[in-house]
Amino acid sequence: MTITVPTTAGGLAITGSVDYRAGLGYGVVHGTGRDTSSDGLIQWTTAAVFIHPMAGAPAEAPATPPGSGWHNRPLSTTGSALDSSLLIALGLGSDRPDNAELLPQNGAVWIGDDQVAGRHVDIMAGPGARAKPGTTGNVRYWVDSDGTMHRVQADVASETKPVVIDFDTRPYVPVQPAPGVAPTP
């Protein structure tokens, strides 16, 4: 997947994987429209973010994370477009589907159609966030006729532009935790 994170200093693009079974994301970060000081590897859970700075970061994260050089911090649930993006990416793997009959009552609606990576998709606005008035449509999903999700776009409170998550078609491969990372299934 590729997560495009808007920031006031340009943006960030994370190319990597989320292991929904382990509750663990891993990828490589590149700054977009800014310097390369944010480049490196990233691994995250719902509780923590682990950063491994790298000059000349590769296009793809290595299959096995480096054994040292990681810095960690708690994952912030407010005020950070990056952390909000990471939480959204992990949250897309929920094992409890929404009740399809209740979705329209909560504001979910079909918006139109589009093309993503050569596939015809429908665009749907998700239901409004519970207990937050005026949030209907703040999450949009690009889904094909097979039910495969190709893109998610979500508003985050800390930025005026949305976070965009594009999915690819790679097969499932478990993410290897970096030293000190405890997966949260």
- The CATH number for 70's domain is 2.50.20
Report d(CA 26, CA 24) in Å as an integer.
7
Asked if residue 184 belongs to a domain, the reply is no
Question: Is there a domain that residue 150 lies in?
Answer: yes
Three-class secondary structure of residue 140 per DSSP:
strand
Q: Is position 185 within any domain?
A: no
For residue 125, count other CB atoms closer than 10 A to its CB. 17
Query: What range defines the domain where residue 11 resides?
Result: 2-166
- Please count the structural domains in the chain: 1
Residue 124 resides in a domain: yes
Question: How confident is the chain (185 residues) per 10-residue block, as mean pLDDT?
Answer: 87 92 93 80 95 91 93 88 90 75 75 92 79 62 90 86 88 84 75
Position 177 in a domain: no
**Structure tokens, 106:** 């909560």
- Is 174 part of a structural domain of the chain? no
Taking the alpha carbons at both ends of the chain, their separation in whole angstroms is 19
